[in-house]
Amino acid sequence: MLLTDIPTRFYDIDPFSHSLEVWPVYQNDAVELVNEISWGIRYQEISRPLVLLIDGFETTLKMGKQAQDSLVNILVNGPRALVRPLVTMRFEMALKLPQWLEFFGTSIYGCITNREAIENLACLPGAPLQDLLPGVEFCLRQQSEWLKFRLPGLTN
């Protein structure tokens, strides 16, 4: 399942071959979906693994207070209940939403060239974020080191 404010980005993905449902975040159905997933987590009703992709996390904050509470529950308790939230967020928004970053256990970083942003987001010195190929290379913090990786099949 994918929540996004720009569903047209994903129209060329065949939903049947990937089992991907795209939910525009600005529709009431998306709010109901978030609340339903949260309810399933709370009452242990999730019986099979579910990946919840959120493209542009900051847009979900326009969904209202109840949906925000449901998102907190999904981020905090989802992984233990077979729900894996995967979230994208532009670094500019991440800097404005530090209270939300606390809910994420693992952060994967893409290319960021703004040194001040790197210092504020990466909490561990030596993050090679400015050297990453945009959209192709990423890194994450593994204990006290940075692990750099590349998406398979991309050679930009």
- 89, 104, 119 - which closes a domain: 104
39 and 16 in one domain? yes
Q: In terms of Cα–Cα distance, which of 103, 110, 11 is closest to 57? A: 103
78 and 25 in one domain? yes
**Of the listed ranges 19-23, 31-35, 36-40, 91-95, the one predicted with least confidence:** 19-23
49 and 93 in one domain? yes
129 and 95 in one domain? no
* pLDDT band per the 50, 70, 90 thresholds, residue 9: confident
Q: Which residue has the higher pLDDT, 45 or 11?
A: 45
DSSP string across the chain: -EEES-GGGGTTS-HHHHT--EEETTSHHHHHHHHHHHHHHHTT---S-EEEEEESGGGGGGS-HHHHHHHHHHHHHTGGGTEEEEE---HHHHHH-HHHHTT-S--EE-----HHHHHHHH-STT--GGGSPTTTEEEEEETTEEEEEE-TT---
Residue span of the structural domain in which 43 resides: 1-104
Q: Are strands 145-150 and 137-142 parallel, antiparallel or unpaired?
A: antiparallel
Residue 117, class by beta-carbon neighbours within 10 Å (0-12 exposed, 13-18 middle, 19+ buried)? middle
150 and 96 in one domain? no
- pLDDT tens for each residue of 35-84: 999 999 999 999 999 999 999 999 998 899 999 999 999 999 999 999 99
* pLDDT band per the 50, 70, 90 thresholds, residue 125: confident
pTM of the model: 0.83
